[in-house]
Amino acid sequence: MMKHILFIVSLGLGLADCVESQGVEPRPPAVEQALAIELTPIVTDGLRDPLYVTHAGDGSGRLFVVEQPGRIRIVENGRLREAPFLDISSRVRSGGERGLLGLAFHPDYRRNGRFIINYNRDTDGATVLAEYRVSDNPNLARQDETLLMVVPQPYANHNGGMVAFGPDGFLYIARGDGGAGGDPGNRAQNRQELLGKILRIDVDRGAPYAIPADNPFATGGGRPEIFAYGLRNPWRFSFDRKTGELWAADVGQDDWEEIDVVRQGANYGWRIMEGNHCFSPSAGCLMSGLAPPVAEYRNQRPRCSITGGYVYRGTRIPGLVGTYVYGDYCSGEVLGLSSTVQSAQGVLNRPQVLLSTGLKISSFGEDQDGELYVVGHAGTVHRIVKAEGYGQ
């Protein structure tokens, strides 16, 4: 298991870079210090290709870690339990961008024991959305599943994978554009396709689900499950606990990674646009009616792929409250977008580096208190904490 050397870069290095190349004024030291974070290890051994961490909302304090090959593991009292909560690895086709990709506990999990997972099935790689339940043992799920939705995948990549319940109690589902490169089937713009979208369904009504009455195409014009479209591969999204806003990070094609605040019925532009830039056609594209990202950055090395995170609403890092914390899979940087910066500068195209970790950041996650975690694909989970002694 590789050892990760974690060090604080905070805004020091990031700003130095900005000042050199852009002539940007450095921030006041107080702001830097308020945003200074570091990582504390939660699990550094025993995980295989983790992709996500979350909580069950049941007051147990447990963390649930999704392993790409098809297992869900429990961290309880700081210890990784050996026996998985769920192991469906025999049903999962894993590797590359496929595998067990998403997990969402029902908002009423404490009473009904229901949770939703999203994976690529072993037979044909199609994306399966399914419901599972806990057994009489709170640390062990039942193996039987209720299928909610199966979506064929034309290519191996861009499977999306995030699932989460919104503040409205509906289930939101991230669907990539089906893969290859450049969305060859133009699926993200096709409202008759479920790929390249964020979907929204009601898993408490209907069989196997119902369509929320105010979904944009509930009565026609597209597939009724669609909540928003024109997305390439919204690998991770989240809801701001305070505002209810849906923040999605859409992985870019050749040049631009982007962050979208996703609104009902909006078209986020792919493949017409990549970030704020024409993609197809490469110039003179018609941008009217397309929702621009709230931020973008170039995916030049060492950056390669945005990993969406969370607007921080925890209590342990007061200076970070309200900042959208996200990262890049290749550079290992934890990045931040603060709402004040966003409103002051409009579209921000230089990410604010909060921390360089050396991790392959596959995901972020929240515990029940809203504290944030970073998942390293090589097998780690760390908690984001306030940098102690910073500036002393």
Residue 269 beta carbon to Ca ion: minimum distance, rounded to whole angstroms: 4
Q: Nearest residue by C-beta to Ca ion?
A: 269
Residue 232 beta carbon to Ca ion: minimum distance, rounded to whole angstroms: 7
Please choose, out of 83-91, 266-274, 315-323, 334-342, the segment that lies near Ca ion by the rule CB under 5 A.
Answer: 266-274
Overall residue count recorded for the chain in this entry: 392
Both tokens of residue 238? 């989240």
CA distance 381 to 359: 10
* One character per residue 55-94, x = contact with Ca ion (rule: CB under 5 A): ----------------------------------------
Quote the radius of gyration of the chain (alpha carbons, Å). 20
Q: Return the number of the residue (234 or 332) whose C-beta is nearest Ca ion.
A: 234
Q: Return the number of the residue (269 or 351) whose C-beta is nearest Ca ion.
A: 269
CB 217 within 8 A of CB 191: yes
Q: 175: which strand partners?
A: 197
CA distance 188 to 196: 4
Side chain identity at 218, as an amino acid letter? A
CB 4 within 8 A of CB 357: yes
Please choose, out of 22-30, 40-48, 73-81, 263-271, the segment that lies near Ca ion by the rule CB under 5 A.
Answer: 263-271
CB 82 within 8 A of CB 48: no
Q: Which of 85, 105, 268, 373 binds Ca ion (CB under 5 A)?
A: 268
Residue 259 beta carbon to Ca ion: minimum distance, rounded to whole angstroms: 10
Both tokens of residue 196? 């390249």
Cα distances from 276 to residues 128, 252, 258, in angstroms, run: 32, 11, 9
CB 53 within 8 A of CB 65: yes
Q: Return the number of the residue (107 or 216) whose C-beta is nearest Ca ion.
A: 216
Q: Which of 99, 113, 160, 269 binds Ca ion (CB under 5 A)?
A: 269
Please choose, out of 122-130, 175-183, 260-268, 352-360, the segment that lies near Ca ion by the rule CB under 5 A.
Answer: 260-268
Dihedral, 119, 272, 325, 174 alpha carbons, nearest 10: -20
Q: Return the number of the residue (278 or 304) whose C-beta is nearest Ca ion.
A: 278
Q: Return the number of the residue (26 or 181) whose C-beta is nearest Ca ion.
A: 181
By CB under 5 A, tell whether 196 contacts Ca ion. Answer: no
Residue 83 beta carbon to Ca ion: minimum distance, rounded to whole angstroms: 42
Q: Choose among 243, 252, 288: nearest CA to 271.
A: 252
Q: Return the number of the residue (132 or 268) whose C-beta is nearest Ca ion.
A: 268
Residue 274 beta carbon to Ca ion: minimum distance, rounded to whole angstroms: 7
Number of residues near Ca ion (by CB under 5 A): 2
Q: Return the number of the residue (160 or 269) whose C-beta is nearest Ca ion.
A: 269
Q: Return all residues near 64 (Cβ < 8 A) that are at least 6 apart.
A: 53, 54, 55, 56, 72, 73, 74, 75, 85, 103, 105
Which residues contact Ca ion by CB under 5 A?
268-269
